Structure 1
Amino acid sequence: MAQESLFGFTDEEKDAAEAQIQERAKRIEYYITEFTIEILAQKTRQGEYVVPAYQREFTWEESRKWRFIESVLMGLPIPFIFFWEDPSTGKLEIVDGSQRLRTLEEFVYNELALGDLEKLPAVSGFRFCDLPEARQRKLFNRSIRGIVLSEFADEEARFDLFERINTGSKVANKAEVRRGALRGPFLDLVVELAKDPVFQSLAPVSEKQLKEREPEELVTRFFAYGDGLEDYADEVSPFLFSYSRHTNKAFEEDPSLVDAYRERFHRTMAFVQKAIPYGFRRTPTGKATPRSRFEGIAIGTYLALQAKPDLQPDPVKTEGWLKSERFIKEARSDGANAIGRLEGRIGFVRDSLLGTVA
């Protein structure tokens, strides 16, 4: 007979928990190393440390760069830098820490002059070459620890690590993480279509969202939700990751899918452009693209075209149901990721276009 723990868990339940932990635990091979600041700056300058496509643009404002260098000069602890060892080149790709590395490079090579510093005001305005030679040597000799994932770290384990770094340091968002963990023809197509002029005109985003790859997030959702929500469980990130991995493999096995998916996207965007002149905005002068609105319109339109390939856009009729209380309710953001809400807004747009809305 199974014994219960102090809080009511039986031995079978504890065994099941242990089995799940073992199943979920990912084998990540890595080693810890130390790099001097001199080497870090030098190798960054020489391109030995690769900033991969999934890393966001170099967005640190000047004041943040100054504060980081001030911390280094003061000898404060610097967070680990995470790398992944590329098996094809042997180079180290930067997973987390690219902005720190590039700031060090910029300072060491006299391209960054420090502004007003809070703790070291006497150093304000200095470049690296202005520091006393002894201080330059001390800075060069200071080491920063790095964690290097080996080439054998599997895809899912790498994704888990990227996502957890993202949670703690805000270095990468979900779209960036997917690009880091999953490379292949599907993600290449997503990057290509995110830059499509028609799509960009229909789905405007802020400069900040552009740097954070919001267009790629929207394109990925378009394909993932359009191909079916059977495996969706109200959690967007794992669903999109699983879908992207599966579709990458499908594209590798059948390269013709690239053109088919590209055509699907272009056809849908062309229809939306004719049916809704202001695209996925809430208003004709809007400068943002709400995700829930994009999902409803883009995927609903695609499904309507699947059901009726000769469907013709009717801007007047479309304008009517877009302003209806029901669509506004379906497209509101609260609880937007729940499967019922997602299916509701997609289904409403599809049925409205087909003239079968209940």
Structure 2
Amino acid sequence: MVGEVAYLVAMADGDVKAQFDAHEDVLTLEEQEDLAAAEHEAEPVTYTGTDFDVEGLVRRLKRGDIVIPTFGHGDDSLEVAGFQRGFVWRRPQMDRFIESLLMGYPIPGIMLVQQVDRRYLVLDGQQRLRTLAAFYEGIHAGREFALDNVADVFKGLTYRTLGPEQRRQLDNTFIQATIVKTDGSDQSLEAIYQVFERLNSGGTQLTPHEIRIALYPGALVDFLENLNKSPEWRQLYGARSLRLRDQELILRILALYQNSAQYFRPQKKFLNEFLGRHRNLEGLDNRKLEGLFIEASKLLLAGPGRSALRFQSSQVNAALAEALYVGLMRRVDGGSLPAPGEVTSAVRAFTSNSETASTISGSTATEEYVRKRLDLATREFARI
């Protein structure tokens, strides 16, 4: 996305992507395969290039002409919302970015989406733009933003205490922007998804779900987040995932419960279409789904407990979890509630089945493996 010199500068600044803890930062095998899987159709896109001076970028941010959306939460006035994670650059990274500008080093470009109302939405570049806004404001995290992790000549400087030459250097530095245009249609949004997915390399890559909920914010994403907060689910899953893997797993469970017969690869496309089709809960009985999901969580917690979602590892196995939830939700929907001890027996029978192991280990997203593990889990829960 940037030239090699700019890329090296970006790496010295802590990279243009957010940095998370080691486990969360690494894409799973399933996520890597999903990102690598080719779409059946390629959508065209319209874009232009322009340069913005730093002072102009900050001014546009302040008055709302450039918007940094947040993950997943719908804003009816935004045609594309949520491509950004929360702001996670640490102060040394912020300081070194500002220092790079003051030194006149090359800076990676940003990517914006121009929507119909002419506002720009930040597709890539959140960390840099938020850092600029904070430095110009003079405050970060409630404290004065004075440069510290920089060369001696810049130590202690704030925007207000910059010398005239330094201020001109910063204000008048140009940052290249690629502007992708959208008309708000599904085809336009799909094109933006594909553009971003192709740029999603190096640093900390976004997962398919992080891109997905950016493309389809709305009531369904909010519903997923509410389920993600349910106490029993949190006890089963564990700590919240910084990469939203817990939320994606709930989406997988609901999509497969509703529509397993139509599952297809790549999984990302199946989930994209489900989220797009039911973006504002159209065609979904969300109260019923919520009840089934929470009841299944209670039964799994009271029965086998946290170990139910794990297979030969301390980490949650998504393929195992979706099969258990779909199978148990079908059982709960079909009759009286089973006892926790019966649920424990069914889970043990499912995980000890020699046919199960191949469907929940390694490459797990094929049509054959998905349908097979759902059928096996459903069969075991139907027996109790």
1:81 aligns with 2:98: no
- Residue equivalent to 2:171: 140
Q: Partners of 1:151 and 1:219 in 2: how far apart?
A: 29
Aligned position for 1:227: 258
Contact 1:29/1:152 (CA < 8 Å) preserved in 2? no
Report the Cα offset of residue 280 of structure 1: 4.7
**Which position in structure 1 is the counterpart of 2:88?**
59
Which residue is 1:291 aligned to? 318
- For residue 101 of structure 1, report the CA deviation from its aligned partner: 0.4
Matched, 1:265 2:298: no
| TM-score after normalising by structure 1 | 0.77
**Pick aligned residue for 1:188 from 203, 208, 222:** 222
- Point out which structure has higher relative CO (alpha carbons under 8 A, 6+ apart): 2
Distance 2:156 2:262 in 1: 56
**Amino acid paired to 2:319:** S
Residues 151-199 of structure 1, C-alpha deviations (whole Å, 9 max, x = no match): 4161211221232232356463222211221233323322332223332
- Equivalence map 1:177-326=2 (5 Å): 177-205=211-239, 209=241, 211-248=242-279, 251-252=281-282, 254=283, 257-278=285-306, 280-282=308-310, 288-306=315-333, 308-315=334-341, 316-318=344-346, 320-321=348-349, 324=352, 326=354
Q: Please give the alpha-carbon distance, in whole angstroms, between the structure 2 residues aligned to 1:323 and 1:261.
A: 25
* Long gaps (5+) in structure 2: 1-39, 72-83, 140-144
Q: Are 1:337 and 2:381 counterparts?
A: no
Identity between Structure 1 and Structure 2 (%): 23
In 2, distance between residues paired with 1:35 and 1:332?
49
1:200 Cα deviation from its structure 2 partner? 1.9
- The superposition leaves residues 208-230 of structure 1 with CA deviations (integer Å, 9 ceiling, x where unpaired) of x2x32222211111112222344
| Residues 152 and 199 (structure 1), Cα distance of their counterparts in 2 relative to 1, 3 Å cut | same
Structure 1 segments (4+ residues) deviating >6 Å:
none
- In structure 2, C-alpha distance between the alignment counterparts of 1:260 and 1:325, rounded to whole Å: 31
Report how far residue 299 of structure 1 moved.
1.8
- Looking at structure 1, the residues matched to 171 and 308 of structure 2 have their Cα atoms a distance apart, in angstroms, of 51
Deviation at 1:135, TM superposition (A): 0.8
Distance (Å, rounded) in 2 between the aligned partners of 1:176 and 1:335: 21
Q: Which has the larger radius of gyration?
A: 1
* Separation in structure 2 between the aligned mates of residue 241 and residue 68 of structure 1, nearest angstrom: 35
Aligned partners of 1:57 and 1:140: how far apart in 2? Answer: 26
Query: Who is 1:129 aligned against?
Result: 160
Deviation at 1:312, TM superposition (A): 0.7
Q: 1:29 to 1:355 in 2, by over 3 A?
A: same
**Residues 1:98 and 2:132 aligned together:** no
What is the aligned counterpart of 1:36 among 34, 53, 65?
53
Change (3 A) 1:331 1:274: farther
Which residue of structure 2 lines up, in the alignment, with residue 347 of structure 1? 375
Deviations 1:36-82 (A, max 9, x none): 11122233344443222322111122232233223322323322222
Q: C-alpha displacement at 1:328, in angstroms?
A: 7.3
Between the aligned partners of 2:354 and 2:222, the Cα distance in structure 1 is: 37
Q: Distance in 2 between matches of 1:49 and 1:287?
A: 42
* Residue type of the alignment partner of 1:53: T
Alignment CA distance shift 1:280-1:324 (3 Å): closer
RMSD (Å) for aligned C-alpha atoms? 3.1
Q: Report if aligned partners of 2:252, 2:271 keep a CA contact under 8 Å in 1.
A: yes
Q: C-alpha separation between the residues in 2 aligned to 1:75 and 1:297?
A: 56
- Alpha carbons of structure 1 residues 108 and 327: separation in structure 2 relative to 1, 3 Å: farther
User: 2:149 matched to 1:116?
Assistant: yes
In structure 1, distance between residues paired with 2:61 and 2:102: 20
1:68 aligns with 2:97: yes
Equivalent residues of 2:296, 2:329 under 8 A apart: yes
Distance 1:41 1:287, change over 3 A: farther
2:206 paired residue among 172, 177, 183: 172
- In the superposition, the TM-score normalised over structure 2's length comes to 0.73
Q: SS at 1:79's partner residue?
A: coil
Q: Flag the 1:198–1:163 CA change in 2: closer, same or farther, 3 A.
A: same
User: Which 5+ residue runs of structure 1 have no aligned equivalent?
Assistant: 1-22
Tell me, in whole angstroms, the C-alpha distance in 2 between the residues paired with 1:196 and 1:277. 15
**SS of structure 1 residue aligned to 2:372:** helix
